[in-house]
Amino acid sequence: MTNIEHLIRLANRIGYFFEAMPDRSASIDSIADHIRRFWEPRMRAALLDYLHAHPDGQWGDTALTPICLEAIQRHRDRLTPARPATA
């Protein structure tokens, strides 16, 4: 299993948990918030790089669930790691 496959599996698990919420919009916001708060910047960057290369969230047998894909696309700016300040 590659690193990106592992990250997608983690993201999908988060999505399964929050997808049970009755309000889809709140579910999407909660997925993005969880990833932003608990994933380190390089994990988020790898996931965003994957989506840049595979905008539909699919790569062979590996795929983001529709709700995760929507959450990441909708909140891309919030999930993008801050760039270090240059001196």
Helix axes 24-38, 3-19, angle to 10 degrees: 140
Low-confidence ranges of the chain (pLDDT < 70): 1, 85-87
Domain membership of residue 45 (yes or no) is yes
| pLDDT of res. 81 | 93
Domain membership of residue 63 (yes or no) is yes
| pLDDT of res. 83 | 79
Domain membership of residue 86 (yes or no) is no
Q: What is the pTM of this model?
A: 0.90
Task: Say how far apart CA 30 and CA 48 lie, in whole Å.
Answer: 17
CB 68 within 8 A of CB 11: yes
| pLDDT of res. 2 | 78
How many domains are contained in the chain? 1
CB atoms within 10 A of CB 78: 13
Which residue segment(s) compose the domain that 67 sits in? 3-79
